Structure 1
Amino acid sequence: MARIVIVSARFGAGHDRAAYALADRLNGHEVEVLDFLDLLPPALGGRLCRLYRRQLQTAPRSWDWTLRALGGPRGAALASRAAGLARRGLREALGDRTDLAVSTYPLASHALARLRGRGELTAPLAVYLTDPAVHRICVTGAADLHIAPNHLARQQARALGARAAAVAAPLVASAFRPAAPPERRQAREAFGLPGEGRLALVTAGSWGVGQVRRTAHDVARSGTVTPVVACGSNTALRDRLRAEGLAHVFGWVEDMPGLMRAVDVVVQNAGGLTSSEALAAGLPVLTYRCLPGHGRANAAVLDRLGLARWIRDPADLAAALASEDRPSPAAQPAEDPLPLLEKLLDRA
């Protein structure tokens, strides 16, 4: 039995859900999931998480500027130095026996790379890329393999210095799957949603950041669908939308697979996790009023691949919501990531 350590971070939910989806599928191995923020000096991880969330909520354009700065020649070096703050905690957490290390979060990748450079990690290192588009800080030349969710992401990773890159299907929980007609009715009843008519799920990740309010009202004004809004942990947004008369507004949803089985289309702002989950559920996906920075980069890749149409003009929204076109299954990678990791274990 191999010991596999997966390092994620609780910045939103995308990195964590990919990590735990992978852990659930690694049957027969001893798997531990670590949070990068908990490996930093005391209290620093929590402060960084709160700062990032506040930045996206109050000054989202500044995140665009941040990513541009990190995408420059010195970006990877800066990320590596920042990741070095977790080196001691990570080395202790890895212990004396680690047969494979996997990262689902960029700074964790660089922290593991620093351990390899110092000879403190001798096990193979894999990086799982959670977003459709790849930023410079997501790639480290120390990794044995980068696993990308599409062929464009693989090309980007190779261009940014990945020694080896492969494509595999995005890691999502198995509960995200197309709904049978009875399940659609049951899900609508469970969530108190209309039994008839088309429903559009408006979602913006676990934190409910971005132009969610404007998106929800634009969807309602389209006249083609009824909006169902998932606000995540953003209770202020939930309360405001309810006060403004939207009938189907949720805060934190525990059963997101069930909610997706109730709707006909998903409108999101280019989060990698939401797109992957919706596509696994067999739903058409639209990107609208996307987040700056990684949101726009993800939107461009998803649109180019034909996986999620990027609606840039509000005038085009109604027609897109009324369309029942779905991505071709051929547009989505079907390769399982597990054999790729097993090959690394064989080399260990």
Structure 2
Amino acid sequence: MTKRRKIFILYARFGEGHWQAASALRHSFANQGNTEIRLIDLLAESHPVLNGVSQYVYNKSYHVLPQVYGWVYEATKGMKSNSMFASWLHSFGAETLQRLVEDERPDAIVHTFPILVLPFVTQKTGRKIPMFNVVTDFDLHFRWVHPDVDKYYVATEDIGRQLCELGVDPSRVAATGIPIRPTFMSGTTGALAASYYDLTPSKPIVLVMAAASIPWTETAELSRKLAERCNAQVVIVCGRNRSLRASLSNELLTIKEITVLGYVEHIDELMSISACIITKPGGLTLSEAIFAELPIFLYRPVPGQERNNARYLASKGAAVICQTVEQAGKSVTELLEKPERRIEMRKALKALSKKGASDSIALDIARQLHIMKEVSLAYGSILIEG
């Protein structure tokens, strides 16, 4: 009987994307069978107080002082894995991970967040565990880079080239795309989705992903302009931010062309019937929009990985960066009034699209582990014969 494989997936709750990518991978590994998956928020498990404080500071710096967040991100972007600061960052959670490794003996560890504690644990235990990094942005920060990583799975060929330029062997890099929710594979028809949300398929739908970093009054103003100027239906998704949803619902209650929603599990349904999306440039949302070939408008991206994500997609013609309500309204109007503009953007999105990223990554990791096992057995046989 084949031994059941065990894999740890390490993530963090700094934003939704790292957890969503981890969940997508868990689903893909489960489909393979004979694999036990454990999702671990390592910082939360090992340092719950520090994790809470870190998330608070992250949210405040990200939303209140974005320039400071951006400066820190850019200042540390090129740090080496053996630098004192990188070693310090990658030491958090070491005791917890060491205990988990010794107790459960996983066959591999996958990261969807760059908290690379495993090399430190390897030094302590002397046991080498295969390590795989799934980079969840369209921008490469050196926190993801470490010589002990067995393979990197990245969003684009451009990031793959960056890694190779840093000395990573091409065989250790795969441009698979970023894992997205398995619901995107369900193929919900536009007619069913429109009926569910009480929308008219024949009238343009603009999907707006509301963000806490943007004042709700600004989101309301933008939505009004879109409904009036573009003669469009506007669907605003507020996620789990109840106060944001309440404020927007009260403000826009009388405008029948505007629908305000909270957290939407099957965002693929809304994307399938929308003409475009206005959002902040998080890696997961961008990957989902790219999969749906949905023209992207990025509203006031904050400094750091999101601004770099935005610049990358804009350089490819797949997204438009908008800094004001007026600019966003004008850009969306142009898209809706000029079919050729939408065709251009969808062509650029299709060029970036990577279908089945989660399944591809899970299958390749399984293949890598099989090869490593075969090599280990062959090497053991040579030693015995010698």
Q: Normalised by the shorter chain, which TM-score bucket? A: 0.7 to 0.9
Unaligned residue ranges in structure 1 (runs of 5+): none
Structure 2 distance, partners of 1:188, 1:316, is 24
Q: Which amino acid aligns with 1:53?
A: N
Could you say which residue in structure 2 is the equivalent of 1:310? 321
TM-score, with length taken from structure 1: 0.87
User: Where does 1:86-125 land on structure 2 (aligned, <5 Å)?
Assistant: 86-94=93-101, 95-107=103-115, 110-125=116-131
User: Where does 1:246-261 land on structure 2 (aligned, <5 Å)?
Assistant: 247-261=258-272
TM-score, with length taken from structure 2: 0.79
Structure 1 distance, partners of 2:187, 2:178, is 19
Query: Cα–Cα, structure 1 residues 37 and 321, in superposed 2: closer, same or farther, change >3 Å?
Result: farther
Q: Which range moved further: 285-294 or 75-84? A: 75-84
Matching residue within 304, 308, 315 for 1:293: 304
Could you say which residue in structure 2 is the equivalent of 1:135? 141
Query: Cα–Cα, structure 1 residues 219 and 178, in superposed 2: closer, same or farther, change >3 Å?
Result: farther
Greater Rg, structure 1 or structure 2? 2
CA distances 1:204-243 after superposition (whole Å, capped 9, x unpaired): 5xxx333264355335424223321111122232222223
Work out whether residues 231 and 237 of structure 1, in 8 Å CA contact, stay in contact via their aligned partners in 2.
yes
Work out whether residues 116 and 122 of structure 1, in 8 Å CA contact, stay in contact via their aligned partners in 2.
yes
Query: Cα–Cα, structure 1 residues 40 and 145, in superposed 2: closer, same or farther, change >3 Å?
Result: same
User: Where does 1:21-60 land on structure 2 (aligned, <5 Å)?
Assistant: 21-26=24-29, 27-28=32-33, 29-60=35-66
- C-alpha displacement of 1:312: 5.5
State the aligned residue count.
341
1:279 paired to 2:286: no
The 3-state SS of whatever aligns with 1:153 is helix
| Higher-helix-fraction structure | 2
- C-alpha displacement of 1:299: 0.9
Structure 2 distance, partners of 1:281, 1:178, is 12
Could you say which residue in structure 1 is the equivalent of 2:342? 324
Work out whether residues 215 and 288 of structure 1, in 8 Å CA contact, stay in contact via their aligned partners in 2.
no
- C-alpha displacement of 1:114: 2.0
Structure 2 distance, partners of 1:234, 1:120, is 45
CA distances 1:45-85 after superposition (whole Å, capped 9, x unpaired): 22222221232232222211120222254786424313312
- Report the aligned-residue RMSD: 2.6
Q: Which range moved further: 293-302 or 210-219? A: 210-219
Structure 2 distance, partners of 1:155, 1:117, is 30
Deviation >6 Å, runs of 4+: none
CA distances 1:12-36 after superposition (whole Å, capped 9, x unpaired): 1101111111111112211111112
Could you say which residue in structure 1 is the equivalent of 2:214? 211
CA distances 1:151-183 after superposition (whole Å, capped 9, x unpaired): 112123334564532211321122115856xx3
1:63 paired to 2:69: yes
Q: Which amino acid aligns with 2:259?
A: H
Q: Which amino acid aligns with 1:140?
A: H
